[in-house]
Structure 1
Amino acid sequence: MLRHVLNMHTTADNEHRCEICGFVSTTRTALRQHKRFKHNPEKKHKCTMCEKAFKTPTLLKEHMATHTGIDLYSCAYCEASFKSKSNRYTHYRRHHPAEYNATIVKRDLPKAISSYEMVTAASVSNQNTIVNQMESLNQAEIG
């Protein structure tokens, strides 16, 4: 319990600072996560269609959407759809700022579209590989 309190409930006097870039975190866990994502050059998640590799399964999944042409995310306010969360966020800021700002505190953004059915219908030469990779990425996000 003491370790939990020291790690998770620190004060400004006991901040956790990244020695590489100066990022400040309130917990050691968040600092470790920051270092692993921002400063680790290792990209374990490789695309089977091209030579690109990514740090997270989600980034690879969004990249795979460029090969399949499938949009993974949808707008909560109109019919627009997107291959990445960042594109959806940009759309919200540009086209729906009032609605987005009013609801951001009340609820999370809409979840990713379940794309398994769309992927199986994708007209890509290496269709089975993409479907298998998308399924394993979905499992990696869950697990």
Structure 2
Amino acid sequence: LEEHLKSHGSKIAIEDSEKAEEKKHVCTVCNKGFKLHYYLKLHSFTHTKEKPFICQQCGKGFITRGKLKRHIETHTGLKKYQCHICYKFFTRPSYLRIHVRTIHGTQDYNFRVDKTWNQFGTEYTA
């Protein structure tokens, strides 16, 4: 029984050390841990309120270039995601997903971007 308990103890210690390794980048302000330094850097913006990526059109700031890029699409009105059922266009894949679920009553999610049909990350040339 003693050997059996020891084996569980070492397993728990190994799991704890693996979790500690997973979050080796720790915020000096709130002690929250992150797996990657990049995530820690993004998190640090919550403390500094810094938003280094600024929209040239409206002045709104963002913490990542990707979020700025997505925001810029709101100014252009570009709708590049097309429903495979009714062919209506949307600015974001999430808006298309909601449309397909609520209007067409299905979870089947195909969309068209630049003459290519996509289904769950798989591409089909139109």
Scaled by the length of structure 1, the TM-score of the pair is: 0.43
Q: Could you say which structure has the higher helix fraction?
A: 1
Q: Could you say which structure has the higher strand fraction?
A: 2
Greater relative contact order, per chain length (Cα 8 Å cut-off, separation 6+): 1
Scaled by the length of structure 2, the TM-score of the pair is: 0.48
